[in-house]
Amino acid sequence: MSDPLSTAHGLLHSVFGFNAFRPGQEEIVRAVLDGENVLAVMPTGSGKSLCYQLPAIARPGLTVVVSPLIALMRDQVGALAAAGVAAGSLNSSNEPDQNARVLGLLRRRELRLLYLAPERLARPDTVEMLAEANVALMAIDEAHCVSQWGHDFRPEYLALGSLARQIGGRLQTIALTATADAPTRGDIIDKLFAVPPRVFVRSFDRPNLRLAFKPKDRSSRQVLAFARTHPGESGIVYCASRRKVEELAETLRAGGIDALPYHAGLDKAVRDRHQDSFQQRDGVVMTATVAFGMGIDKPDVRFVCHADLPANVEAYYQEIGRAGRDGLAADTLTLYGLDDMRLRRLQIEQGESSDERKRTERQRLNALLALAEAPRCRRQTLLAYFGELSEPCGNCDLCQDGVERFDGTIEAQKIMSAIVRTGERFGMEHLIAILCGDRTDNVLRFQHEQLPTFGVGTDRRAVEWRSLFRQLSALGLIAQDLMEHGRWSVTEEGWRVLKGETRIELRKDLAVPKASRRGRSAAAPMAVVGDADEALLGALKTLRSKLAQAQKVPAYVIFSDRTLIELVTHRPASPSAMREIHGIGDSKLERYGAAFLEVVRNFGR
């Protein structure tokens, strides 16, 4: 009975209050307990931390956790402490007595997990101290930071392999990341491991995230409407510019939503204050640039909205991945327009990267455009990019609202002939004016009303033609010049369609969305409870907020949303019944059980 794996099972329940492993966790925990070196590639929210926390508690010896961000460490240490685990971090933003306490625990060999930033680990005094501290395992979080391929490259990560050897000869190492790229994975193995580790790759499917895209049409109104379908819930709205971050925060606030801006141009104090509010208060919506990123470890973000197209498919996946880490239903919406597509292309071409890197970047962007214009299930399209085959998901806009397709060869030919007959020198609005037979000043000036293409598209409205332009662009049939006023040309592939050698299918623009506003797939547990239970849920949230404020920790460190929802649906009447609720281990039961039980009892049945 006392083999390490069954000990780990017991701890899963008694310390963390979880009934079962999430997919992938058990194999990794077993490999770590067997002493293997491991690279774990798992999507955000899949529960990577547990893969080293559980072995750290189940075995003797200290586990050193390397993590790039102090805020992230603080939350993890807080959550572990709340579960009764001796964990600590050493960093410059700690009070001196906090560091002294951690060092004391370390010396007495009572500390189970020590969190460090890579810079701190690299200090000679740290290495020396750890060499004496009976370190059993080094866990390297956000391991993709070691790769020059990623956007999060941190040079200090390059030293981690050799530091591990200085601390413990062949110190057992587990590296963890949510970045799925093959080149990044290769880099991690090269740079962090002396011999190739066991590699575990988990499915990148996050079935609880609803996926949706919409063409931009007055984006601030669209964002407000979306945020209003999530009253009182935490969310993130990503924007491409600081100005837009500020504007949207104002629009949302004017619309009655508790929104705060976050971008690198704000004072650090303001940024920190806003981030703390987001982490600790219920229902704050952060409008942010991507500067608001890796540090977010909040499990109950209920929606992510992209007010502008993300940089590429990787960025998209990472950013929407910040919603619904607790596994409950969460909603995403990405708005996109031709200007966005052009901006993202420009950013790649004008960047400093090598040609090889630019090629990768273009592919990643094209994959996102293909996703935006996807003809069928978005999740299938997204997972196909990560090399996974899957069935239609039932939890994306295309699965739920359906999409009609038609043979678009003639439409494509009309667009392309307008492009070619005007010498591939004009932008979209002018070309659409020609198709629609509008005698605008420019049309008359260039005598384009005399072209045979003039007025061949009067059967469609301008918005429809714009959608068709985007689709042809996403299919690679037409291309937009980045420098010269966005003029369009026909690609080689496009010429084949123009000459009638191949036919193409296009999407009619999305039918009006049905009334349903949330994913209802079986895989996505509901985040909301019935109206009758709302009051109890509200009371439990109030108690949670009070406790969180008193202890200066985020609300979810006390109890996750899922725990509160289960308290509402199960209404436990005794401490032992409470112990069966998700997320309630021995330590939390002791600390908070009585207070929450009282609230539940007061609501009776």
Binding site for Zn ion (CB under 5 A): 377, 379, 393, 396, 399
588 touching ligand ADP, by CB under 6 A: no
Nearest-angstrom CA–CA distance, 261 and 289: 9
563 touching ligand ADP, by CB under 6 A: no
Q: Which of 24, 28, 49, 312 binds ligand ADP (CB under 6 A)?
A: 49
Which region among 17-25, 226-234, 388-396, 489-497 touches ligand ADP (by CB under 6 A)? 17-25
Which region among 38-46, 128-136, 253-261, 585-593 touches ligand ADP (by CB under 6 A)? 38-46
- The interface partner of residue 44, options being ligand ADP, Zn ion, none and the CB cut-off 5 to 8 Å by kind, is ligand ADP
Report, in Å, the least distance between residue 326 CB and ligand ADP.
5
Which region among 19-27, 63-71, 184-192, 434-442 touches ligand ADP (by CB under 6 A)? 19-27
Residue 72 and residue 295 in contact, taking contact as beta carbons nearer than 8 Å: yes
Q: Which is nearer to ligand ADP, 210 or 325 (CB)?
A: 325
Report, in Å, the least distance between residue 47 CB and ligand ADP.
3
Q: Which of 28, 39, 41, 42 binds ligand ADP (CB under 6 A)?
A: 42
Nearest-angstrom CA–CA distance, 99 and 132: 18
Cβ within 8 Å of residue 545, ≥6 positions away = 281, 282, 555
Q: Which is nearer to ligand ADP, 314 or 411 (CB)?
A: 314
Q: Is 65 helix (H, G, I), strand (E, B) or coil?
A: strand
Q: Which is nearer to Zn ion, 305 or 377 (CB)?
A: 377
Nearest-angstrom CA–CA distance, 429 and 431: 5
Q: Which is nearer to Zn ion, 329 or 396 (CB)?
A: 396
Residues 321-360 that bind ligand ADP (CB under 6 A): 325-326
What residue is closest to ligand ADP based on CB? 47
Report, in Å, the least distance between residue 539 CB and Zn ion.
37
Which tokens hold the place of 236? 């993130």
Residues 289-308 that bind ligand ADP (CB under 6 A): 299
Angle at 215 between CA 212 and CA 221, to 5 degrees: 90
Which tokens hold the place of 319? 């950013």
Q: Which is nearer to Zn ion, 399 or 589 (CB)?
A: 399
- The interface partner of residue 326, options being Zn ion, ligand ADP, none and the CB cut-off 5 to 8 Å by kind, is ligand ADP
Report, in Å, the least distance between residue 75 CB and ligand ADP.
9
Nearest-angstrom CA–CA distance, 229 and 225: 7
Which region among 41-49, 153-161, 285-293, 446-454 touches ligand ADP (by CB under 6 A)? 41-49
Which region among 47-55, 118-126, 336-344, 417-425 touches ligand ADP (by CB under 6 A)? 47-55
82 touching ligand ADP, by CB under 6 A: no
Q: Which is nearer to ligand ADP, 145 or 374 (CB)?
A: 145
Nearest-angstrom CA–CA distance, 165 and 131: 10
Residue 195 and residue 37 in contact, taking contact as beta carbons nearer than 8 Å: yes
52 touching ligand ADP, by CB under 6 A: no
- The interface partner of residue 46, options being Zn ion, ligand ADP, none and the CB cut-off 5 to 8 Å by kind, is ligand ADP
Angle at 156 between CA 151 and CA 159, to 5 degrees: 125
Residue 506 and residue 499 in contact, taking contact as beta carbons nearer than 8 Å: no
Judged by CB under 6 A, the number of residues near ligand ADP is 16
Q: Which is nearer to ligand ADP, 26 or 36 (CB)?
A: 26
The neighbour count for residue 176, using CB atoms within 10 Å, is 24
- The interface partner of residue 48, options being Zn ion, ligand ADP, none and the CB cut-off 5 to 8 Å by kind, is ligand ADP
Report, in Å, the least distance between residue 98 CB and Zn ion.
47
Rg (CA), the chain: 27
Nearest-angstrom CA–CA distance, 22 and 480: 45
Q: Given its phi and psi angles, is residue 448 left (phi above 0), alpha (psi -120 to 50 degrees) or beta?
A: alpha
Residue of 560, 429, 408 whose CA lies nearest to 474: 408
Q: Which is nearer to Zn ion, 41 or 333 (CB)?
A: 333
Q: Is 249 helix (H, G, I), strand (E, B) or coil?
A: helix
- The interface partner of residue 507, options being Zn ion, ligand ADP, none and the CB cut-off 5 to 8 Å by kind, is none
47 touching ligand ADP, by CB under 6 A: yes
- The interface partner of residue 329, options being ligand ADP, Zn ion, none and the CB cut-off 5 to 8 Å by kind, is none
- The interface partner of residue 364, options being Zn ion, ligand ADP, none and the CB cut-off 5 to 8 Å by kind, is none
Nearest-angstrom CA–CA distance, 199 and 152: 21
Q: Which is nearer to Zn ion, 393 or 468 (CB)?
A: 393
Q: Which of 11, 18, 280, 334 binds ligand ADP (CB under 6 A)?
A: 18
Residue 307 and residue 248 in contact, taking contact as beta carbons nearer than 8 Å: yes
Which residue is listed with tokens 């961000």?
Answer: 69
Nearest-angstrom CA–CA distance, 349 and 354: 10
Which region among 37-45, 102-110, 161-169, 428-436 touches ligand ADP (by CB under 6 A)? 37-45
Which region among 48-56, 205-213, 306-314, 563-571 touches ligand ADP (by CB under 6 A)? 48-56
Report, in Å, the least distance between residue 176 CB and ligand ADP.
7
Which tokens hold the place of 200? 């575990």
Nearest-angstrom CA–CA distance, 71 and 80: 14
Residues in the chain: 605
Nearest-angstrom CA–CA distance, 554 and 572: 24
Cβ within 8 Å of residue 248, ≥6 positions away = 220, 223, 237, 239, 259, 261, 287, 307
Nearest-angstrom CA–CA distance, 468 and 476: 12
Report, in Å, the least distance between residue 300 CB and ligand ADP.
9
Residue of 338, 506, 340 whose CA lies nearest to 414: 506
46 touching ligand ADP, by CB under 6 A: yes
Cβ within 8 Å of residue 89, ≥6 positions away = 70, 73, 74, 77, 102, 114, 115, 116
Nearest-angstrom CA–CA distance, 66 and 121: 8
Report, in Å, the least distance between residue 482 CB and ligand ADP.
36
Report, in Å, the least distance between residue 503 CB and ligand ADP.
44
- The interface partner of residue 393, options being ligand ADP, Zn ion, none and the CB cut-off 5 to 8 Å by kind, is Zn ion
**How far, rounded to the nearest angstrom, does the alpha carbon of residue 520 sit from its chain's CA centroid?**
20
Residue of 399, 477, 428 whose CA lies nearest to 213: 399
Nearest-angstrom CA–CA distance, 389 and 380: 7
Q: Which is nearer to ligand ADP, 53 or 147 (CB)?
A: 53
Binding site for ligand ADP (CB under 6 A): 18, 21-22, 25, 42, 44-50, 299, 325-326, 560
